[in-house]
Amino acid sequence: MPTSLVTSNSLLAIDVGAANTRAVLFDVIEGEYRFVASGVAPSTAEAPVKDVSEGARNAIEALQNILKKPLLETSARSLIMPSQPDGSGVDSLVVTISAGPSIRALVVGLLKDVSFDSARRLTESTYARIMDTLHLGDQRKPEQQIDSILRIRPDMVIIAGGTDGGASRSVQKLLEPIGLASYLMPEEKRPAVLYAGNDKLADEIKTLVGSLASTLHFSPNIRPSLETEDIDPAELELAQMTMTIRKKQLKGLDVLDLWAGGHTLPTAYATGRMVRFLSKVYGSPKGLLSVDLGSSSAVIAAGFQNKSVLKTFPHFGLGENITSLLNYTTIDDILRWSSLDIPPSVIQNYLYQKALYPSAISATKEDFAISQAVAKQALFLAMQAALHDFPKDAASIKPNLAPLFDPIIAGGSALSDASRPGQSLLLLLDSVQPVGISTVILDQNNLMPMLGAAASQNNILPVQVLESGAFLSVGTVISPVVSARYGQTILKAKVVYESGTEAKVDLKYGFLETLPLASGETGKITIQVSRGVDIGFGPGRGVKGLTITGGALGVVFDGRGRPLDLPSDPVRRRELIKKWNWTLGGG
């Protein structure tokens, strides 16, 4: 990248999470933007502080101590901006936030499998839980609908319906109970409303619910025709509406937003924006996948050639919502991922303790095994839910499996631990269950959302930071789709290194294998597969001389089949999990 394109402006990014708040500095070094350092402090959204700006200041102070230069004014503890001739301060600031309670949402759409489905997908792109729905097929009487709305007290109402220029009377009928329920609520409890339907109804929406909403937002129709769905513009409007709601819920957020000049975004939306950007940069026929598993939620963001998908699951977060995981799964399903024999009561106790102390770190081997098992099941459930909304025409091997993805980027507190890349990779392989040939990258500094937020201020910065090695390459993963007998050979592979030397592997069903290939190195791989085995080129078809890249674990072969079928015998299953951990250096 030519130096002339880069102005020497430093950018500070603050991410306010449910457990931790991080402050990250990006600056120009030798003519290009680089990730410089980060400071971390416990988040202060909850009691006793209940002010998110305090956690942000503490994170900035931790960053100051690393940089050995002041970023905050000593007396007022406000940010020094722009940077000063003495080197103190920063030139700009962006903020991302995932802290805060789940936003209660009411989703309204005309037809259950058309506009209503689009409205649901839109709502699931932010930190919301759908508490109730309204559509033409709803059999309840108007007074029952009003009672339900008053009972759930939604923070937001998402309304979609009607193709552009289509019928309007049905939409009006759905709005009446919302307007009456809002009228009966105290003014300060009224919901924010986003209308993303037939644009001809905008004036009527203002008349029917405008004066009864805390704020009223409009976006282009997310279902302009029966065959067309366009959610991206509405996602931005929803992100801005989410920030308005968060400012009411979280003290101190307005201070950070003022510092950032309004450049404040929900963390999930910022991640989705970065994935959209990267999928265009890579331009691969495969999809690009980002998974982020943290305290507040599990976020799945995927970019395809003609569509992006953003799914946010607050109920699968590993913080104060962690006990709600048991509403979607069983303790036995969590225990199937554990390498240790742990009583169900211990798992239950762990979940309640983690809900009380989200930032607690595993202190024993048993605690770590539990945390890994819980994280695997949470991400597995999130991925299974997200699969339904991936485009039907995405490149794939089998319809019921994940599409082909390359690269896969993993972040969040459960996945970004660079000191244990083997554990992080096994967590991904077990929960996401990728297929074919993928490059796996760990976002060990959790930069994805920050880069997504920074892109609006500086579109060169994300590209240069990505190219600078701020992310950790785990390596290339080869996951054949096959069902066979345990121990049966399913493929043979040979890697030719740049030096001309070779390494070979015979992969047996049920095994994980690795070949060395260092970070920054490339090699040529040739794979011969057994009959019926598919690595993305069709059943029984291998590949010759394919260029692959290395990483912390080199080339990893996952011969356990798809979908992953764990043995029902608990003793054998635990022994296998220990063996898989050992193969990937997880111990």
**Residue-level pLDDT, tens digit, the chain, 587 residues:** 344 445 568 999 999 999 999 999 999 998 899 999 999 999 999 889 999 999 999 999 999 999 999 999 988 789 999 999 998 999 999 999 999 999 999 999 877 778 888 999 999 999 999 999 998 888 999 999 999 999 999 999 999 876 666 556 777 788 889 989 999 999 999 999 999 988 888 888 888 888 889 999 999 999 888 788 889 999 999 999 999 999 999 999 999 999 999 999 999 999 999 999 888 887 889 999 999 999 999 999 999 988 899 999 999 999 988 999 999 999 999 999 999 999 999 999 999 999 988 888 888 899 999 999 999 999 999 999 999 999 999 999 999 999 999 999 999 988 876 678 999 999 999 999 999 999 999 999 999 999 999 988 888 899 899 888 899 999 999 999 998 999 999 999 999 999 999 999 999 999 999 999 999 899 999 999 999 999 999 999 999 999 999 999 999 999 999 999 899 999 999 999 999 999 998 65
Give 22's contacts (C-beta < 8 A, 6+ positions apart): 14, 15, 38, 39, 40, 59, 446
> Would residue 187 count as lying in a domain?
yes
Is residue 406 in a domain?
Answer: yes
Is residue 203 located within the same domain as residue 336? no
Is there a single domain that holds both residue 395 and residue 365? yes
Whether residue 317 sits in one domain with residue 205:
no
Going by the DSSP 8-state scheme, the letter that residue 190 receives in this structure is P
Q: What share of the chain is helix, strand, coil (3-state, %, to 5)?
A: 35, 25, 40
115 and 90 part of one domain: no
Q: Which residues lie below 8 Å from residue 381, measured CB to CB, with a gap of 6+? A: 298, 313, 316, 325, 328, 329
Whole-angstrom Cα distance, residue 494 to residue 137?
A: 58
- Pick the last residue of a domain from 191, 218, 249: 249
For residue 431, is it within any domain?
A: yes
Which residues does 37 contact at the CB level (< 8 Å), separation at least 6?
24, 25, 63, 66, 67
How many domains is the chain built from? 3
Give which of 184, 113, 97 is closest to 145, Cα–Cα: 184
CA 1 to chain centre: 29
One domain, residues 570 and 449: yes
Neighbours of 92 (CB within 10 A): 21
Q: Can you give the CATH number for the domain in which 69 is found?
A: 3.10.20.370
- 249, 283, 302 - which closes a domain: 249
Q: Are residues 67 and 114 in the same domain?
A: no
Do 80 and 111 belong to one domain? no
Please name the residue that has the structure tokens 């937003």.
Answer: 257
Q: Are 452 and 273 in contact (CB under 8 A)?
A: yes
> Does residue 298 sit in the same domain as residue 399?
yes
Q: What angle do CA 21, 27, 33 make, to 5 degrees?
A: 115
Same domain for 382 and 453? yes
Identify the three-state secondary structure at position 585.
coil
Is position 545 within any domain?
no
pTM over 0.85: yes
> What is the distance between the alpha carbons of residues 437 and 549, in angstroms, rounded to a whole number?
11
Domain contains 79: yes
Which of the listed residues 37, 68, 97 is the one where a domain comes to its end? 97
What are 12's strand-pairing partners? 25, 93
Give the range of the structural domain holding residue 44, as residue numbers without chain letter. Answer: 3-97
How far, in whole angstroms, is CA 282 from its chain's centroid?
Answer: 19
Q: How far apart are CA 229 and CA 306, in angstroms?
A: 11
Whether 187 and 227 map to the same domain: the answer is: yes
Strand partners, 293: 298
CATH number of the domain residue 121 falls in: 3.40.50.360
Q: For residue 358, say if its preceding peptide bond is cis, omega within 30 degrees of 0.
A: no
The amino acid at residue 137 is: G
* Residues 149, 26 within the same domain: no
Residue count of the chain, please give it.
587
Whole-number Å distance between alpha carbons of 341 and 30: 53
Angle in degrees, CA 580, 377, 331, rounded to 5:
105
Residues 133 and 172 in one domain: yes
